[in-house]
Structure 1
Amino acid sequence: MTMYVWGYLNEYQQEREEILEAVDSVFGSGNLVWGPRVGQFEEAFAAYHGVAHCAGVDNGTNAILLALLAMGIEPGDEVITVSNTAAPTVLAIDQVGAVPVFVDIDPRTYLMDVEQVAAAITERTRCILPVHLYGQCVDMAPLEALAERHGLQILEDCAQAHGARHHGRVAGSIGRAGAFSFYPTKVLGAYGHGGATITSDPEVDAGMRRLRYYGMEETAYYVVARNGLNARLDEVHAEILRRKLTRLDDYIAGRRAVAARYEEALAGTDLLLPVTAEGNDHVYYVYVVQHPERDRIIEGMRKHDISLNISYPWPVHTQTGFAHFGYREGALPVTEDVAGRIFSLPMYPSLSESDQDRVVDALHKTLASL
């Protein structure tokens, strides 16, 4: 059992009574799919981010996909994003028929290199999709300026940045819309799949609500206004998320405490530790480090019964499932280079100091043996 699973189980044991109470309240109500709790969570989640609207959906992929559709992105439109991301970011773009245009990343933060975006804009560009990766935000001011100058929209991928802030603004509240995943391991996670899109644009919100419900108007059941999906957030996850949302800032504080201990304990090593970009409040969804002997380190840590994760070992543009985009190896040199060196250390709010000490001790021994 990995430490990532331990983190999930630790959280469940700590919050078990309230989680089971939430489940029982939904099951006992008879409203399992289309009751009041989704709306209550949406209202609370929108308020946390200081936006007007939130539409809950069934997963983070559809949060992006439906947002793109609600924003009017059509087949053939270009969406500028990055290849150093989870595949669902790009799958959503592809599934609406749009074309992802990749720019490279900053070698220290692993975030979109915003200086490359201007050169990537063409007459077909309609949207910029920055990925707030690993727990911190892309530098948004240059993107906002480009979007305004060229008449583009911004959709933020916030799947790994719940509660992260950029110059005081919460991730997801900066662009026209922000898409979130509530996969169990996220900073704010459900006990299964879930997602949401937030916006202050009533047109985008109305589109999200229609599209997540087969394309029907919520006030006119069985009347399809446009082709949509069955992609609603269910009541039980909404109620669990609503309750957990009140502890989101506590989860973030716990992750920052773990990150601070790593930074102190690993300061003397030759690992490249996480760098927080100027103006960012990092929430440390994952704690990503870098080393040229990454694979040997991972193998060495297994001998200490510690499994480490890589986010992500294969950039999207190099994967066979995305070969139709026409990118060749070498197209994004920084992305491809760091993909061979990055890996993640165990990171979750309930990681005890003793367990973290065990990770650090094993890592020191492994590094010394290289």
Structure 2
Amino acid sequence: MLLDLDQDRRDFRDFVRSWVHKNCPPDVARDLEKREHQYPHELWAAMAEAGFHAVGIDEKYGGQGGDAVDTAVLARELARSLAGLTWVWGVPSFAGAKAIGHAGSEEQKQEYLPRLARGEIKFSIAVTEPSGGTDLVGAMRTRATKADGGWRITGQKMWSTGAKEADYLLLLARSGDPEAPGKRPLTTLFLVPVDSPGIETRYIPKIAMRAMGSCEVFLDDVFVPDAQVLGEPHRGFRALTGSLNNERVMAGAVALGCIDGVLDEALFHVKTREAFGKTIGSFQIIQQYIAEIALSQKQAELMVFDAAWREVSGEDYLREANMVKIVTSEYAVAAADKGIQILGGLGLAQETHAQRFWRDTRQFRIAPISNEMARNTLAESYGLPRSF
């Protein structure tokens, strides 16, 4: 199969690329990223004006329509300049548009999706816990207890990116104990208003995605109405998994865009930088580095759009989603490292971009699932016994 875009999607790609060039070229993205814990509200607003928050939302809910291929195109083109700041669009798209579109009731879709499409509300993901990591459900301590007209939630979440600026948390909590020994706890998925009494958020200092702050979230007897349950009570992880594979493909599209950005900067540098009386792009080892980045770019591109097409066609694409997540994250980190090496000492300067791509892509080897765990799941899909 030739994994190419039709004309409408090429036009969309070209529109996004020109928008990025005008509104947030690499130098602008670099300056935004330097502002630690200062959310780029101007970037969110510009994306809203361009209609990007409406991509992937059904037209009947005020969106522009579009599927996994369209959102992969958008993620790639944004990441080519923005790198990790792409998640200004991506986190609300996943935690809001994708999650509500998949598991929400008709009333929830009518209430939230038009507002997200217009850029009026933001979402953050509150799933990971301090003691859990990849053991998401087994180690979950945040508990939701049924109360009159709703639920009372107490616990702590980690790495909730954008939580301080969000209006709602897509939050998974333990809501019941298993009936048989060795069974996983029952969980429920909630849309929790961040301004609810009993919620506190704290920034986590980190080396990457600095303006897009990630938070600890503390919940102390937070009341959440029944209307804020997403999907069925006690079946929260099932409601969430409908979106998790898509998240891995979108992470792959962002990683692919970062490879694009690394290659753009490296090519400009090797064609203009001179040493020993000629441009360094004429040196054999530099050409090999460029070739290796280009090879990883093409392989990542094929895998991302293969998985996106499979999602659109309705296939079971869990295996491909894990493959995309593993390969693109490792290729992106390696490409950025080569980009730094090509630039030499300049590659460590904050005025250049390879170091920013390296910092922002390094997290993809850990999240949204570690590459080690993704490899275990991949092996299991070939009939091997569960290793964890």
Q: Return the TM-score normalized by structure 1.
A: 0.25
Which protein, 1 or 2, shows the higher relative CO under an 8 Å CA cutoff with sep ≥ 6? 1
Q: Return the TM-score normalized by structure 2.
A: 0.24
Instruction: Return the structure number with greater helix share.
Output: 2
